[in-house]
């Protein structure tokens, strides 16, 4: 192996270490052609794109979300998020949104079917813009993220080791799937 080939292979290793230090999931397997030699190079797999099925919240976060759900959501969406034809708990407030006069399911198969293929950010934005009834946008970003974690738990999606982020740009990288 020529000196230039050794340098190229070393640079690939340095790049892999840099990607790994930056938090990327480094995999081995990409071919790098260096003259007549083939070097297996490390490459960074996009760790940000993921599915709700990959465990995007923690059990502790879902517990915090359960507390928010019990104080702000349960009257309309019921204990397990199944929804109902509801009357508002606050006299004079309306549950009508876009012609739908019911509290739709916020967990389970029907909920996942409705949101499947969309990002968690789309769901987060919808919740923040419309909920709770009469006080839309009144919760902190972290409280909305915690609430989503609880809804995912109710939908029997697996928990993971990292909390669902409250940053909207990060939520845009997580896809909802059934």
Does the pLDDT value for residue 162 go beyond 60?
Answer: yes
C-alpha dihedral, 131 to 132 to 137 to 140, nearest 10°: -110
Work out whether the CA dihedral 119, 124, 129, 134 comes out positive or negative.
Answer: positive
Q: Which residue has the higher pLDDT, 17 or 83?
A: 83
Mean of the per-residue pLDDT values of the chain: 77
H-helix or E-strand spanning residue 120: helix 120-130
Collect all residues with Cβ–Cβ distance below 8 Å to 16 and sequence separation of at least 6. 26, 41, 42, 43, 44
In angstroms, rounded to a whole number, what is the distance separating the alpha carbons of residues 127 and 54?
Answer: 22
Q: What is the DSSP string of 89-117?
A: SSTT----BTTB-SB---SSHHHHHHHTT
Does the pLDDT value for residue 114 go beyond 70?
Answer: yes
String of b and e for 74-103 (b: at least 16 CB within 10 Å)? Answer: ebbbbeebbbeebeeeeeeeebebeeeeeb
When pLDDT is cut at 50, 70 and 90, the band that residue 74 belongs to is confident
When pLDDT is cut at 50, 70 and 90, the band that residue 92 belongs to is low
In angstroms, rounded to a whole number, what is the distance separating the alpha carbons of residues 82 and 74?
Answer: 10
Does the pLDDT value for residue 21 go beyond 90?
Answer: no
Average pLDDT over every residue of 96-122: 83
Average pLDDT over every residue of 152-178: 97
What does pTM read for this prediction?
Answer: 0.66
- Per-residue pLDDT, 91: 59
Task: Read off the DSSP letter of residue 170.
Answer: H
Average pLDDT over every residue of 146-150: 98
> Among residues 75, 50, 54, 46, which one has the least CA distance to residue 152?
54
Q: Where are the domains of the chain?
A: 3-45, 50-175
Percent of the chain with pLDDT over 90: 53
Average pLDDT over every residue of 154-159: 98
User: What fold characterizes domain 50-175?
Assistant: Cytochrome Bc1 Complex; Chain D, domain 2 (1.10.760)
SS3 content of the chain, % helix, strand, coil (to 5): 45, 15, 40
Phi then psi for residue 88, to 5 deg, are -65, 145
- Per-residue pLDDT, 5: 42
When pLDDT is cut at 50, 70 and 90, the band that residue 13 belongs to is very low
- Per-residue pLDDT, 142: 98
Does the pLDDT value for residue 105 go beyond 50?
Answer: yes
In angstroms, rounded to a whole number, what is the distance separating the alpha carbons of residues 64 and 70?
Answer: 10
């Amino acid at each position: 192996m020529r000196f230039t080939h050794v340098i190229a292979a070393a640079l690939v290793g340095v790049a892999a270490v840099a990607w790994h230090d930056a938090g990327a999931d480094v995999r081995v397997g990409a071919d790098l052609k260096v003259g007549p030699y083939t070097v297996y190079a490390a490459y960074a797999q996009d760790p940000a794109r993921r599915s709700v099925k990959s465990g995007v919240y923690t059990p502790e976060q879902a517990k915090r979300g359960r507390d928010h759900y019990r104080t702000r959501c349960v009257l309309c969406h019921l204990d397990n998020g199944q929804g109902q034809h509801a009357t508002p708990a606050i006299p004079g407030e309306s549950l009508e949104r876009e012609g739908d006069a019911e509290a739709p399911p916020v967990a389970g198969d029907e909920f996942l079917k409705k949101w499947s293929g969309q990002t968690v950010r789309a769901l987060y934005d919808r919740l923040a813009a419309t909920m709770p009834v009469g006080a839309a946008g009144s919760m902190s970003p972290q409280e909305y993220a915690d609430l989503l974690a609880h809804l995912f738990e109710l939908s029997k999606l697996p928990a993971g080791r990292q909390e669902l982020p409250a940053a909207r740009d990060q939520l845009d990288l997580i896809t909802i799937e059934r």
